[in-house]
A and B are shown apart, each in its own frame.
Chain A
């Protein structure tokens, strides 16, 4: 089941979506986190961010919508609080990918420099140029090939470690090509999809902000299509993200061309979901008669 995600050697293809898995230790009462191939920690910036006011979440049919706004304690506090646990997790063989947040190219670079200095145990970093819930940075700079490429170019100068880019669900093939050209090692496809929910009785948004990011099963088939487009557009590996609730959902991403798969909202519904999905994916691979999951990557018949 081992895969190579842009230089991040994973013992199996199951990863977790940033922002849905805390820093990993929150799940230790429920599962042995070290069974997973990798975890991606919640996005962190150089300085602490307070995030958005309440309400930050509403439930929508087939998923949820959030406007957390990347609340985080800043890289130094993150490293101090969760570093020892994450270093131990790395020793046990689960790769830790730290997600990097920023409002500008300079802020992404500063956060990445701090990560490199304070989190030497990290297997790689995921640059989040696709958060739909912050006024500057995030999707505001990652939704065009030029904007995403600028951040990638600057971050590439900071480290030789694997750099993954979390992509917005727009213009994915052309943005993927631009990121590959700037030296990205892998791509996470997709971040949550911007949406809007209105309470018609109060006429207010159901979130503290007018819009939020939609995630969960409602996004899954959009994400599968985008993973397939990206996998066909670039040579660097893809991490499929979006509404994976079962091993078969994960298998769809692999067949569409993903090297690995992140479990997201399912972690909230069932904290044991990631390990269950790994077992189901193993069963599916066996049912396909292959001894190596890599044989099934991009094996969709169409």
Chain B
């Protein structure tokens, strides 16, 4: 017997079969697409057969007593927020189509999520006459998706808000806020740990208020903008990492890797009392020469102990590029820190492609504006 829903599956199956044949002919026997469509056709026909066999799960039309007592007949679908969510998601999609691909993608994601939730609510709330059972089967299906995605979103809100706050704070206030926030979280966790009788609702409410406050402050600081030196650095294009720019003051260039880069360096170059010297692990005292391995990413840390801001410049030869047609371009190889304030430090990582003895110009480290002092760079 061909039931209502089996017609749909049989129809789709037939369509897939036709598409498979068309694909096979149109692609000169291309097999992957036609095999995929053939499998789709078989799967759909199989589903149609199941629908036929179970008669769409309907009770007999003549069995009116069953109609009256069936769970589905007893309960309707309750009010739902998902149509509203779907409308908002559609709004994102439309706005995104006009304005930016990012918003469009977010809208598509939201649309899929809203439609999914809507569909599952409709399905689960018609499952039986028992609301608790319906909620259970709904959660059974949706929780494996909802919980990780919700957790990730929550984490993203926390991380994003916290990062906006930290970027807006000054160098001095940042570590302080970080330490205080950490201590407060630790104290709260300890308190909860010791007071096991504390109501989960109270704890949840406190966490909710804290999260809302964090997100609120995050949004406010994001609107207010980053701290002054970062704004200035962005204006001066520090983050383009072009060699030896014209920036006027220190910025925490490439800050994301500075902690690890500073922890294990090839050498530390120090400017003190108008003299440049290096400290190298294993060599005793101040060094006037550093040996770096060829073709090896090497990090040199610069510490400025002078009252004025200074920049360290590493010169390591030049490269000649063949531009074709007998034209060559010569580029001087150099790496610099941005300007470093008194007692500040900044790491620079460079890879020297050629040995120093292959260059006519010496490889050296200098500080512009501080004459008569340099460090030789030896690359064997």
Q: Do A and B bind each other?
A: no
